[in-house]
Structure 1
Amino acid sequence: MEQLTLFPATLTLIAINVAASLYAWANPKFLMGNLFWVQGVREKREYHRFLTAGFLHGGVFHLLINMFVLFQFGRIIEDILGTPKFLIVYFAALLGGNAWAYLENFRKPDYRALGASGATSGIILSFCLFLPFATLLFFVIPMPAVVFAVAFIGISILLAQNENRVIGHEAHLGGAIFGLVATMIVEPRSLSIFSDQVARVLGGG
């Protein structure tokens, strides 16, 4: 139990996501009023959607996947950065991901999305910066985290071009980039930590 106190923000974010999603499933009006919706932002100036959409999910599987990722990576990044910096990275990724999706779909007023995947994408990329050679699974294929990061961004760019997509890859891409940049801003040593590990591996040291 004492270990749980080491990452209070991660656990709090999970609790909020679960509570908000459960409430939204039982209250469709609340769900529709808080998910990400281009027309709602563009014409009605409902800017709260940039934030609130990141705490809502489309179903149990969607929620479980995002919360599993948040727990697995969030507690590590919160431990490395400390709670305040971790929260800055998380919300920068969440808001940045939805802002990216808004710009990508500005001419699609009916575009709607929800979920914490923009935020969790940023946390994963932050993890890759600190632990570039940790083994991660990408579609069940094991690979170093640094390779995972490149593949994740590249595939998100490609899939975001698909007009018939049902997954918000734009938010994944924006969240990943904003999370990476936010990490470098709040912890400038992250770049040297990353480069030192790369140099050590490439140099065989």
Structure 2
Amino acid sequence: MLTLIVIAVTVLVSWLAFQRPRLLERLILWPPAIDKKRQYDRLVTHGFIHADWQHLLFNMITLFFFGQTIEPLFADYMGPLGFVLFYLSAIVVAILPTYLRHRHDPSYRSLGASGGVSAVLFAFILLKPWSLIFVFFLPVPAIVYAVAYVGYSFYAERLGHDNVNHSAHLSGAAYGVLFMLLMDPGVGGTFVRELTNPQFLR
């Protein structure tokens, strides 16, 4: 249920920002506004706006499928709002390296929920590494996708030829894994058992 609420709020805010450029400019991650104007809310609000409908739909579809699976676990450990707290904190943590690197760059901007979504995705992968993820309609084991995702993100981040914040993807993924392990250390053992006992070999 909370996953659906997060998606609904994100779609609404993104849609409003599509229509109102001034709103987008107020919510986007713009480091000088945080550094000089103390608008720390931008560390969160940038995760609720997107560049276009394709960007928005990709993030929200991913959040829909994987968020609902792990949401009950957070409720068990952290209470009814546990998943929301995890997701919002992931948005902040994922963007911090980018903010620190560009804090004095007035030309830099970043937006999108990708950091938080990456945290949700990798929390799911830690629980179910051999579940199938459909990439361009092709079924891929989650753990294989995770390795490819991290490798590509490192490669693309070094190239720096596109406008995608790959650093936030990597930071979000790492945060999702670390958060899960700190919340429930037993997840690590579960991951190892699942990893060494592939479902398709059972």
After TM superposition, the score normalised by the length of structure 1 is: 0.86
Residues 153-202 of structure 1: CA deviation (Å, up to 9, x unaligned): 22112211233321111111111111111111222221111012123349
What is the alpha-carbon distance in structure 2 between the residues aligned to residue 140 and residue 169 of structure 1?
23
Q: CA RMSD in A?
A: 2.1
| SS at structure 2 position matched to 1:132 | coil
Q: Residue 199 of structure 1 aligns with which residue?
A: 196
| SS at structure 2 position matched to 1:112 | coil
- Aligned in 2, Cα 1:145/1:12: closer, same or farther, shift over 3 Å? same
1:56 maps to 2:49: yes
Tell me the number of residue pairs that the alignment of Structure 1 and Structure 2 aligns. 197
Residue identity over aligned pairs, in percent, reads 33
What is the alpha-carbon distance in structure 2 between the residues aligned to residue 44 and residue 161 of structure 1?
31
Matches within 5 A, 1:67-106: 67-82=60-75, 83-106=80-103
Query: What amino acid sits opposite 1:24 in the alignment?
Result: A
Matches within 5 A, 1:140-155: 142-155=139-152
After TM superposition, the score normalised by the length of structure 2 is: 0.88
Q: Residue 118 of structure 2 aligns with which residue?
A: 121
Structure 2 unaligned regions, length at least 5: none
Q: Residue 185 of structure 1 aligns with which residue?
A: 182
Partner residue of 1:22 out of 6, 12, 15: 15
Residues 85-129 of structure 1: CA deviation (Å, up to 9, x unaligned): 322331232111111221343453311111111110111100110
Asked whether the 8 Å contact 1:93–1:177 carries over to 2, the reply is no
Asked whether the 8 Å contact 2:32–2:104 carries over to 1, the reply is no
Query: What amino acid sits opposite 2:130 in the alignment?
Result: F
What is the alpha-carbon distance in structure 2 between the residues aligned to residue 43 and residue 161 of structure 1?
29
What is the alpha-carbon distance in structure 2 between the residues aligned to residue 84 and residue 177 of structure 1?
22
Structure 1 unaligned regions, length at least 5: 1-7
Query: What amino acid sits opposite 1:11 in the alignment?
Result: L
Query: What amino acid sits opposite 2:188 in the alignment?
Result: L
